[in-house]
Chain A
Amino acid sequence: MSKRPASERIQDFREVDQGLSAEEAVAEAARCLQCKKPKCVEGCPVTIDIPGFLADVAAGNFREAARTIKQDNMLPAICGRVCPQETQCEGVCILGIKDKPVSIGSLERFVADWEYDHGVELPEVAPSTGKRVAVVGSGPAGLTAAAELARAGHSVTIFESLHEAGGVLTYGIPSFRLPKDVVAREIEQVLALGVDLKLNHLVGRSVSVDELLAFDAVVLGTGAGLPYFMGIEGDNLNGVYSANEYLTRVNLMHADRFPDFDTPVVRASRVAVVGAGNVAMDAARVARRLGARVFLIYRRREEDFPARAAEIENAKEEGIEFLTCANPVRILGGPTVTGIECVRMEMCEPDQSGRPTPRPIEGSTFSLDVDAVIEAIGQGPNPLLIHLIPGLAIGRKGNVEVDGEGKTSLSGVYAAGDVATGAATVIWAMGAAKQAAQRAARAIDRMLEES
Chain B
Amino acid sequence: MTELYAIARATEIADKIFEFWITAPHVARHARAGQFVVLRIDEHGERIPLTISAVEGDLVRVVFMAVGKTTTQLSSLGAGDAIRDVAGPLGKPSEIEQYGTCMVIGGGVGIACTPIIAQELKRAGNKVIGVIGARNESLLILEDELRAVCNELVVCTDDGSKGFHGFPADILKQRLAEDTLDAVWIIGPAIMMKITSGATRPYGVKTFVSLNPIMVDGTGMCGSCRVTVGGETKFACVDGPEFDAHEVDFDELMQRQRIYTAQEQESMGRYHEHTCRCGEGGARHE
Interfacial residues, chain A to chain B (CB-CB below 8 A): 161-163, 165, 171, 191, 197-202, 205-208, 225-227, 229, 231, 235-236, 238-239, 241-242, 244-245, 248-249, 253-254, 258-264, 266, 335, 382-384
Contacts and interface: CB of A to CB of B under 8 A. Distances in A.
19 contacts: A161-B219, A162-B87, A162-B219, A202-B90, A225-B219, A227-B223, A229-B233, A236-B252, A236-B256, A253-B216, A258-B263, A261-B45, A262-B44, A262-B69, A262-B267, A263-B47, A382-B219, A382-B221, A383-B238
B70 interface: yes
B233 A235 contact: yes
Given A205-B90, A238-B258, A258-B263, A197 B1 contact: yes
A261 B260 contact: no
Contacts of B270: 259
Q: For chain A, what secondary structure do more than half of its interface residues adopt (helix, strand, loop), or is it mixed?
A: loop
Contacts of A191: 1
A260 B69 CA distance: 12
Contacts of B260: 264
Given A227-B222, A236-B256, 7 more contacts: A200-B85, A208-B30, A229-B233, A231-B233, A241-B223, A248-B221, A262-B70
A199 B85 contact: yes
Interface of B: 1-3, 26-27, 29-30, 35, 40, 44-47, 69-70, 84-90, 216-217, 219-224, 226, 228, 233, 238, 252, 255-256, 258-260, 263-264, 266-267, 270
A191 B205 CA distance: 53
A206 B87 contact: yes
A248 B69 contact: no
A415 B217 CA distance: 23
Given A201-B26, A238-B258, A264-B260, A245 B223 contact: yes
Contacts of A249: 216
Contact of B219 (A207, A245, A260, A384): A384
From B30, B228, B263, name the one whose CB has the most chain A CB atoms within 10 angstroms. B263
In the complex, the 8 A-B pairs of residues with the closest C-beta atoms, listed nearest first: A245-B222, A264-B263, A262-B46, A225-B221, A200-B87, A163-B85, A335-B255, A263-B46
Contacts of B266: 259
A205 B89 contact: yes
A174 to B, nearest CB: 16
Contacts of B3: 199-200
Given A263-B46, A264-B260, A161 B217 contact: yes
Contacts of A263: 46-47, 216
Contact of A200 (B35, B86, B233, B256): B86
A197 B85 CA distance: 14
Nearest to B256: A238
B26 A259 contact: no
B281 to A, nearest CB: 19
A171 B260 CA distance: 21
A163 B222 contact: no
Contact of B216 (A248, A260, A261): A248
A226 B85 contact: no
A245 B225 CA distance: 10
- Listed residue (A165, A249, A263) with the most chain B CB atoms within 10 angstroms of its CB: A263
Contacts of B26: 198, 200-201, 206-207
B156 to A, nearest CB: 31
A335 B261 CA distance: 13
Nearest to A198: B26
B24 to A, nearest CB: 8
A249 B259 CA distance: 14
Nearest to A379: B221
A333 B60 CA distance: 41
A421 B223 CA distance: 22
Nearest to B260: A264
Contacts of B2: 199
A433 B173 CA distance: 58
A223 B198 CA distance: 40
A191 to B, nearest CB: 7
A274 B217 CA distance: 22
Contacts of B87: 161-163, 200-202, 206
A207 B27 CA distance: 9
A242 B224 CA distance: 8
Contacts of A202: 87-88, 90, 219
Interface centre among A165, A244, A259 (most CB of B within 10 A): A259
A239 B44 CA distance: 23
B261 to A, nearest CB: 10
Contacts of B238: 383-384
Contacts of A335: 255-256, 258
Contacts of A226: 220-221
Given A202-B90, A262-B69, A382-B221, A236 B46 contact: no
B90 to A, nearest CB: 6
Nearest to B43: A261
Interface centre among A162, A198, A199 (most CB of B within 10 A): A162
Interface centre among B45, B46, B260, B264 (most CB of A within 10 A): B46
B223 A244 contact: yes
A162 B217 contact: yes
A384 to B, nearest CB: 6
A206 B263 CA distance: 32
A236 B233 contact: yes
Given A259-B266, A262-B45, A263-B216, A163 B89 contact: no
A238 B255 contact: yes
Contacts of B222: 227, 242, 244-245, 248
Contacts of A236: 226, 228, 233, 252, 256
A261 B44 contact: yes
A102 B259 CA distance: 49
Contacts of A254: 44
B250 to A, nearest CB: 13
Contacts of B226: 229, 236
B184 to A, nearest CB: 26
A306 B221 CA distance: 22
Given A236-B252, A258-B263, A245 B216 contact: yes
